[in-house]
Amino acid sequence: MIALALPAQNSGDFTPPGINEMHLPAILPWGAEYGFSKQMLLVLLSVVIISAFFMLAARKRQLVPGKLQFAGEAAYGFVRNGIAKDIIGGKDFIKYVPLLFSLFFFILVNNIYGAIPLFQLPTFSHVGGAYVLAGIVYFTWIVIGLKKNGIRYLKLATVPSGVPLYILPIVVPIEIISNFVVRPVTHSLRLFATMLAGHLIVMIAGYGIEFLISQENIFLQGTSILVLAGAIAMYMLEALIMVLQAYVFTLLTAIYIEGALNADSH
Amino acid sequence: MNQLIISAATEGEKVNPLVPDLWEMLVVAVGFALLMFIVVKFVVPMFEKTFAERSEAIEGGIAKAEKAQAEASAALEEYKQQLTDARAEANRIREEARGEGAQILAELKEKAGAEAARITAQAHAQIDSERQAAVVSLRAEVGTLATTLAGRIVGEALNDDERSARVVDRFLADLENQNAGAGK
């Protein structure tokens, strides 16, 4: 919203080749303008939305669920059975359900903001939140691995079994880098980058439409319809990616935890 | 820092998107911790309890159905057993009746045979006695007739009854002897 207000100020500077460079300053809501930004409000709001929905859905605890309870159970069962049980499995997958459940719906709601008018801002288009969540997951699976396998876990996680001795000097550094350094970075940046890119694309389309309409040539104005059509298509794609990224983030968390639990067999 | 970013943005300089805002990180961390707390404390236990209750109810229903099934098959078994028993009983009774019938028939046959034999024997005896009587009366009559005839033929010579009876007896005795000899 703030971004849309900007071009009005600088409308004199709008020239066709300039649009590509304009999108960076358009990320003005970057960082907290007033100390407490829209971003922060949205994060806290998501906590309220998720808690309220699932508390209401789970409260009645009927054997034959009503509509709301059924929706809540389907959503909970999706994470519980579709992610936690399928990936982690075993007897105590239930221990990790709360983390996976919270992650999935926290990210989902915060992403979906980007597709809802007025909110129109996926929280994780700012990198801070993604770092926090990826960091939580990073420490979680390392602690799980150490608890389960003891200090031996560091060896299990970095020295793959069945590799000839002379290749180990190459493999071990690669494993260390990929598991302990790159993994949390990709985990967080994947979420952040897709949200940022999606947000930018929709924003650029908005700028483009505004610029084209402000032209004097009627034909150039007409082309804004094409941009609008493209923007709607991109909006749909972004909505899909928002859901998908929440799923991917949670799925990877489950895979990391499973890898830490069964480090012996990997 | 915020001031710095805003001024950087308005000046058109590049903001590094990979540098996070610490306050935002803090808010996300606190928000997520809050959510985790609510989920761990309330949401997951409530859903898990519902799931457990539901599966228990379903398993209880299954157990009940299995019990009913077992009862039904036990009753069926019992009925089959009773049916078999009844069949065996009927067979036994039928066999018994058949045996009894045969026995009665045999008894009747025996009785009838005995009766027939008795009647036959009686008839024989009657016939014998009648024959005897006939023989006796014939003997008397034939004697008289023969004597009369012979008296008529030889004249009144044989009027003496006593003598004539003696003659007749002798004659008949001879005759009987001849008969007996021929008969044998």
B2 contacts on A by Cβ (under 8 Å): 31-33, 35
Span B61-86, average pLDDT: 93
Residue B57 has its nearest CB partner, among A63, A76, A126, at: A63
Question: B171 — contact with chain A (CB < 8 Å)?
Answer: no
| Weakest mean pLDDT among A1-5, A197-201, B78-82, B152-156 | A1-5
**Helix H or strand E encompassing B150:** helix B44-154
The CA distance from B56 to B52, in Å, is 6
Which of A38, A70, A132 would best serve as a mutation to test chain B binding (most B beta carbons within 10 A)?
Answer: A132
Query: Do B166 and B144 meet the contact criterion of CB atoms below 8 Å apart?
Result: no
Which residues 6-45 of B are in CB contact (within 8 Å) with A?
Answer: 6, 9-10, 12, 14-15, 17-25, 27-29, 31-32, 34-36, 38-40, 42-44
Residue B182: pLDDT band by 50, 70, 90 thresholds? low
Residues 6+ apart with CB under 8 A from A152: none
What crossing angle do the helices spanning A67-77 and B44-154 adopt, rounded to 10°? 100
**Predicted complex ipTM exceeds 0.90:** no
Taking the C-alpha atoms of residue A19 and residue A5, their distance in angstroms, rounded to an integer, is 15
Residue of B nearest to A125 (CA): B17
In this complex, is the C-beta atom of A50 within 8 Å of any C-beta atom belonging to chain B? yes
Nearest chain B CA: its distance from A205 CA (Å): 20
Mean pLDDT of chain B: 82
Q: What is the count of structural domains for chain B?
A: 1
Write out the residue range of the structural domain in which residue B117 sits. Answer: 21-183
Q: What is the pLDDT of residue A6?
A: 42
The reply to whether B2 falls in a domain is: no
What are the tens digits of pLDDT across the range B36-59? 999 999 999 999 888 888 888 888
* CB spacing of B46 vs A62 below 8 angstroms: no
For residue B79, tell me if it sits in a domain: yes
pLDDT of residue B183: 52
pLDDT per residue rounded down to tens, chain A (266 residues): 344 444 444 444 443 332 333 333 333 444 444 456 677 788 889 999 999 999 998 888 777 788 888 999 999 999 999 999 999 887 888 899 999 999 999 999 999 988 888 777 788 888 888 999 999 999 999 999 999 888 888 888 888 888 888 888 899 999 999 989 999 999 999 998 898 888 888 878 877 888 888 877 888 888 888 888 988 898 899 999 999 999 999 999 999 999 898 887 76
| Range with lowest mean pLDDT among B17-31, B38-52, B106-120 | B17-31
CA of A108 vs chain B CAs: smallest distance (Å)? 13
Six token digits for residue B53 = 């209750």
Structure tokens at B141: 């009559």
Check if A42 contacts B (Cβ < 8 Å): no
Instruction: Give the nearest partner residue to A30 out of B5, B29, B57, using CB atoms.
Output: B5
| B7 within some domain | no
Comparing A163-177, B100-114, B129-143, which segment has the lowest mean pLDDT? Answer: B129-143
pLDDT of B181: 66
Question: With 70 as the cut, is the pLDDT of residue B9 above it?
Answer: no
**Residue A44 Cα, gap to closest chain B Cα (Å):** 6
Q: What residue ranges do the domains of chain A occupy?
A: 21-265
Distance CA B161, CA B163 (A): 5
Angstroms from B62 CA to nearest CA on chain A? 15
CB A72, CB A54: distance < 8 Å = yes
**Residue among B172, B123, B119 nearest B143 (CA):** B172
By the CB < 8 Å criterion, does B70 face chain A? no
CA A40-A42-A47 angle, 5° bins? 100
Token pair listed for B89: 């009983």
Residue B168 has pLDDT above 80, yes or no: no
Measured distance CA(B131)–CA(B66) in Å, rounded: 95
Backbone dihedral angles phi then psi of residue A42, each to the nearest 5 degrees: -65, -40
Query: Which residue blocks in chain A are alpha helix, DSSP H?
Result: 2-9, 19-22, 38-59, 67-77, 97-112, 127-149, 153-158, 168-176, 183-213, 218-222, 224-261
Alpha-carbon span B146 to B168, nearest angstrom: 8
Q: How many beta-carbon contacts under 8 Å exist across A and B?
A: 136
